[in-house]
Structure 1
Amino acid sequence: MVDKRSLPLVEVTPFLTQKANLKVYKNVGEWQVIAGELHVKKQLGGELTYSIEELNPYLNREAINPFILHSALLEGRKIKDDPHPTDAMDQLGKLEDGNVAELFFSLRTLRSPEEVLELLSDYDVKATSMAVFAGELKDFKLSTYSSSGADYMIPHLTLRPMVQFGDNHSLSLWHTFFSMDDGITDHVKQLIADVEWMTDNIKYNGVDEDKQRLAYLKKNGVQVYGASVTGPVRELEKLKEESEFWEFHLGRIEVWNWS
């Protein structure tokens, strides 16, 4: 997530190029842990460009896509077994109670975001994002993806807690987590609106694929095949009891901060 609440100090160069830096963070427990920096630049009369410098706390460890799209989901089937056990739950079991963490998991079937929140409602965790299936490898081919056997790791749209801006482009409303009480409809509408705006107004690498994703979502609705959650390590450990969840990946770990 990009920290949109603090107005950045905008630098103007002698050639009237505007530059600004914003913090990138992720939610771990109730901490907002800095994970990198967003560098933004706009030349006079030119286009806006940006890059993200990721802050990796470990040497020689590449960030990986934590969500698996199994071929069974592309064929409308349910994954019947877990051919790739992970050690995320073993790692969680070795952590003391006074810690919070983030955990990623994939789903055995395509689910609506509401169904995922319902499955999580019995646990003291908060959902922070969901991996959206938008017809990739089913309705259209992708220019880039990786695979291992029946597992696919693909570029995907991400359903995130909704952020809204006022008429003067100032931040007016934001959500840190999804909530069953608030529902998910507005978050989904915002995702569709954001992709519509992007594909209509910006030329970028992958815009044609995003147009196909948008057409698929408008026709079929939003379904997801994975989610990220955060909470106390003992609660995260309980998620292995949910038969619908598989391919767990452990993310950042922090000391206790949970109300």
Structure 2
Amino acid sequence: MKKDDHVLKDWKESEKNIDQRTARKFVWRTRLAIGFTVIRILLGVFLIYVLYQIPVEIYFEHSGKRAEFDRFVATVVETRHAGIEVDKLSHPRAEISPLLTQETTLPVYRQVGGWDVVVGEVKAKKRLLGKLSYTIEYNKKYIHEQMEYPYALPPDLPELTVSYQPGELVEPAEAQLEKIPDGFVVQLQFSLKKGMKPEELFQILNKYDVTVLQMPVYAGEIKEFETDRTTIIEDGVYTYEVPTLMLRPFVEYDEKNRLSIADHIITAEYLEESVETFYRDLSWLIEKGGYSEQELDEKRLAYLRKHGIKVFGATVTGPVREAEKLIQEEQFHKFHVTGIEVWNWYGP
């Protein structure tokens, strides 16, 4: 091979190596440029998010909307679920997303004697143009444990042509209570065999050392409009179970939806205030809107304003021996023990 051929070959290999180094540098420069561009875009997006979200959070807090959503969820839950309350004393927990979706998680408890027993939490969400959706997640102790029991609607309220025959139904709660020794307090739920005004039920309950936590209110179901219902026949006795509203203890909020006053029990002395709370809550929910039973509540409110309030049961709490006495009341039936704790009781 000639000497010139070697020189030419070495020059081509050298040029090839230079081209590869140049290409690698170009690739890395391109990668770094793309990386910095992505970082700048992400920082820009984050800055826009911050500049947008901060005013949204400030408005959500100072306008009372955060507290309003917690109030909205607590009111919906407590006016249609038996035996439970939502923790309303904690600092507002609601959050709002950039898409203006509101979410909150609130503790749920039962009052058993003097105890406020946490039994789970309610998780709620409401999109900007959507309706409220929520789930109650209970802390269950037992497999297939039933955490809520419906009240039985007496036939006289919707004017059905059936009647109860006292003494035919066996109350499982009676056997439970008689086996519980002294020194315990319980939460007990029962239904009425005929509708009563709230003050009439209080006249009966005044004989016992128990406090009233809730009362289911008849608002025209079955008679005036159809709702989801269950008909149960036990020993020839009809029982209708329908979605219902609850008369709950007196509660009041300020202009920014912060809790001002809240009772934990319904008393005869402040029964009128509890009734006022009931009407105010129902009207407020309808006005705010955005929940599944809004149209149904409008019909219920119209019926109640025309006919007044009648109740057909109660959830009470007190010493086990006092709760046991209630089973002997002729107009009470469908008892359920919904909570039991060691003694903590100071009376109504």
TM-score (norm 1): 0.90
From the two aligned structures, give the one with the greater helix fraction.
2
- 1:8–1:22 contact (8 Å) kept in structure 2: no
Distance 1:215 1:132 in 2: 14
Answering whether residue 104 of structure 2 is matched by residue 51 of structure 1, we say no
Partner of 1:132: 217
How much has 1:47 moved relative to structure 2?
5.7
From the two aligned structures, give the one with the greater strand fraction.
1
Partner of 2:341: 254
Partner of 1:7: 91
Identify the match of residue 278 of structure 2 among 191, 204, 209: 191
SS across alignment from 2:275: helix
Answering whether residue 182 of structure 2 is matched by residue 100 of structure 1, we say no
How much has 1:204 moved relative to structure 2?
2.5
- 1:66–1:249 contact (8 Å) kept in structure 2: no
Shift in CA distance, 39/236, structure 1 to aligned 2, threshold 3 Å:
same
SS across alignment from 2:86: coil
> One-letter code of the match for 2:274?
H
Across the two proteins, how many residue pairs are aligned to each other?
Answer: 256
The share of aligned pairs that are identical, in percent, is 38
Partner of 1:227: 314
Partner of 2:195: 110
Answering whether residue 263 of structure 2 is matched by residue 175 of structure 1, we say yes
CA RMSD, Structure 1 to Structure 2 (Å): 2.2
Answering whether residue 232 of structure 2 is matched by residue 148 of structure 1, we say yes
SS across alignment from 1:70: coil
Shift in CA distance, 124/200, structure 1 to aligned 2, threshold 3 Å:
same
Deviation string 1:16-58 (CA, Å, 9 cap, x unpaired) is 7554321111111111111211224466x56674523331332
- 2:131–2:290 contact (8 Å) kept in structure 1: no
- 2:231–2:240 contact (8 Å) kept in structure 1: yes
Consecutive unaligned residues of structure 2, counting only runs of 5 or more, are 1-84
* Higher RCO (CA < 8 A, seq sep 6+): 1
- 1:73–1:79 contact (8 Å) kept in structure 2: no
> One-letter code of the match for 1:27?
Q
Q: Which runs of 4+ in 1 moved over 6 A?
A: none
- 1:105–1:247 contact (8 Å) kept in structure 2: yes
Name the stretch that deviates more: 70-79 or 161-170: 70-79
Deviation string 1:99-154 (CA, Å, 9 cap, x unpaired) is 10111111121101111111111111000000111111112221x11111321110
How much has 1:206 moved relative to structure 2?
2.6
Shift in CA distance, 203/240, structure 1 to aligned 2, threshold 3 Å:
same
Distance 2:96 2:292 in 1: 28
- 1:38–1:52 contact (8 Å) kept in structure 2: yes
Consecutive unaligned residues of structure 1, counting only runs of 5 or more, are none
Answering whether residue 253 of structure 2 is matched by residue 165 of structure 1, we say yes
Shift in CA distance, 160/88, structure 1 to aligned 2, threshold 3 Å:
same
